[in-house]
Amino acid sequence: MQMDGLHKLRSIKKFQSILGTSLFLMLLPVAGFSQTEPKVDAEVDTLAIKIGEQIQYKITVEADSTDVVFFPEGQTFSPLETVEAIMSDTIKNNDKVILQKIYSLTQFDSGAYTIPPQRIAINEQPFFTDSFQVKVADVVVDTTKQKMYDIKPLTQVDRSTADMWLTALWILLGLIVIGAAVYWFFLRKKPLTEEEKVALLPPYDRALMELKKLENSRYLIQDEYKQYYSELTDIVRSYLEEDVHVTAMESTTSELITKLEMLRDAGEIKLEDETIQQFQKILQTADLVKFAKNKPASSVAEQDRKLVEEIVTKTHAGLPEPTEEDLLLDQEYLEELTKKKQRKRIYWAAAIFAGLIVLGAIGSTIYFGTKKVRDTVFGYPTKDLLEGEWVASSYGFPPVQLETPEVLVRQEPQLPKETEELIKELQAFSYGSYAGIFSVSTSSITFKNQEEDPKFDAIINSTLANFEQLGLKNIITKQEEFDTQSGVKGMKTFGTGTLERPNGDSKRAKYNILTFGGKGFIQQVVITWEEEDQYAEQIVNRILSTLDVKTQA
């Protein structure tokens, strides 16, 4: 029994020994590869500076090479301002890595400030640095050597005319090109065509030239007697109208012969009976050819042309010599004819110019839209602001930096007495007015209690209440986080409302309220504009893209 008990005891001890060894081997890899706790350290190169000088704030992190480390970003050192952040060094030591980042901080107001603890995230686990107490001293100025001057008032600066001159130059060039085209095609004296040269000849010379041209025509060869006699009678009738001043083109054969006989009897023209009879016979032959489709011999047709030529010559010779009055009348007629042609060319040029403008307006309307064309031609307030010369500036303290179409003008708001007891300083700047739909305003408020946390809700509600007092009804409000260019986070309050004006008119309006702040201060930017104003939308987007705030207090 004792031997069996001893044997069992030895077996138990051996089992315990094996179990202990196994546990040790199982724990050995864990102990050999377990990660040590990361180390975070912060230090500053000085705790006392003068206004505008910089403090070098260095954060050192010792962690495993596989750890993910996030350093503070943006204006997290408020009330001091971050001027620059530099990743200075990375040191590797086996499986460890040492990361260092240096921040340059400054302050432009004297006093004692506390740099708050900074949050460093390592594998999403937060680590915090110590806080530091910093003193900022005034810069001593010897006023006996350096004179002090009052702040100069705002100076009105004339708007740049560079773009206006460029636009005017392009318009002038366009007008020159159009004017040159109108002159070249319509107003200049062009070389006369053969028809125009013939038309300017005296009636007698023109009639003989046209009869000669008829002689050389191919009408008789091609048996086109109707066309031949039509031209023959038109030539002589036209001559009689211009030179004898008798209505021949619209008269029948008998009426025309009667008119010539009356002129002969009145002594206004010298024509023999034989000449009138020959003319009557030719007109009757022409009537038979044109209306009865008669076809005389070609020799007869040629003989009729020669007789018409003789009749024209005898008629011209039988006319009395023109008096001086007749010559003046003819001269006036020619001048009037020239002016009439000139007016006709001017009318055509004006019609084409007006047509080009109408076509350009229609094309621009189709391509750009009616509103844009109308606003470009007649002007639109926010379009002029959008396309004008913008101003980039910093307003208030702590400063709000942004670009605006016009410079914001300093305002002097009246604060209630109970509010004045809490506020150290209020600086406000604005352009436009809420009631005028489009406006931009900024404000920077510093409190006497530098440790007071900003109350965003209170100041936002105060701004909305101001909207209601100015006539904005049915206000819809939304909120979201907003990041500036440098990464400063703030609150964006935006929405719409109906602006009721004193004259009974109402318009839909939109607004943006952007609020930022830190201990002891609040900054705010307020923008209002008309809901359907596409130019104002572009202005707002551009302002927001340039907005930045400095968290100095």
Residue 99: other Cβ atoms inside 10 A: 20
Across 145-149, 200-204, 261-265, 481-485, least confident range: 145-149
Q: What is the pLDDT of residue 2?
A: 42
Question: Per CATH, the architecture of 381-549 is what?
Answer: 3-Layer(aba) Sandwich (3.40)
CA-CA distance, 231 to 227, in Å (whole number)? Answer: 6
Element (H, E) at 326: helix 324-368
Q: Give the mean model confidence (pLDDT) for residues 500-509.
A: 75
Task: Please give the residue that has the higher pLDDT: either 189 or 280.
Answer: 280
Residue 46: band (very low, low, confident or very high) from pLDDT cuts 50, 70, 90: very high
User: For residue 320, is pLDDT > 50?
Assistant: yes
Across 97-101, 183-187, 315-319, 340-344, least confident range: 183-187
Residue 44: band (very low, low, confident or very high) from pLDDT cuts 50, 70, 90: very high
- Given this structure, which CATH class describes domain 194-320? mainly alpha
Across 21-30, 146-155, 338-347, 360-369, least confident range: 21-30
User: For residue 154, is pLDDT > 80?
Assistant: no
Assess whether the region 194-320 and the region 381-549 belong to the same CATH fold: no
Element (H, E) at 509: strand 506-518
Listed residue (67, 70, 68, 69) closest to 36, CA to CA: 67
Provide long-range contacts, Cβ within 8 A and 24+ apart, for 340-346.
345/186, 345/187, 346/186, 346/187
Q: Give the mean model confidence (pLDDT) for residues 148-177.
A: 67
Ordered DSSP codes for 227-272: HHHHHHHHHHHHHIIIII----TTS-HHHHHHHHHHHHHTTSS---
Q: What is the pLDDT of residue 99?
A: 87
Residue 30: band (very low, low, confident or very high) from pLDDT cuts 50, 70, 90: very low
Task: Please give the residue that has the higher pLDDT: either 159 or 27.
Answer: 159
User: For residue 234, is pLDDT > 90?
Assistant: yes
Q: What is the pLDDT of residue 504?
A: 67
Condensed to tens digits (0 to 9), the pLDDT of residues 393-414 reads: 888 888 888 888 888 888 887 7
Q: What is the pLDDT of residue 235?
A: 92
Q: Give the mean model confidence (pLDDT) for residues 535-551.
A: 87
User: For residue 526, is pLDDT > 50?
Assistant: yes
CA-CA distance, 481 to 406, in Å (whole number)? Answer: 27
Q: Give the mean model confidence (pLDDT) for residues 163-181.
A: 75
Q: Is the pTM of this model over 0.85?
A: no
N- to C-terminal Cα separation, the chain? 90
- CATH of 39-137 among 3.10.450.30, 3.40.50.720, 2.60.40.10, 2.60.120.10: 2.60.40.10
Q: Which residues pair with 341 in a beta bridge?
A: none
Q: Strands of 48-50's sheet, edge to edge?
A: 48-50, 132-137, 111-115
pLDDT, mean over the chain = 78
Q: What is the pLDDT of residue 520?
A: 81
Residues 6+ apart with CB under 8 A from 533: 382, 437, 438
Element (H, E) at 316: helix 298-318
Residue 252: band (very low, low, confident or very high) from pLDDT cuts 50, 70, 90: very high
Ordered DSSP codes for 416-460: PHHHHTTEEEEEEEEEE-STTS-EEEEEEEEES-TTPPP-HHHHH
Residues 6+ apart with CB under 8 A from 418: none
Listed residue (315, 323, 329, 202) closest to 259, CA to CA: 315
All structural domains of the chain with their residue ranges? 39-137, 194-320, 381-549
Condensed to tens digits (0 to 9), the pLDDT of residues 72-96 reads: 887 788 888 888 888 766 777 777 8
Residue 32: band (very low, low, confident or very high) from pLDDT cuts 50, 70, 90: very low
Q: What is the pLDDT of residue 227?
A: 92
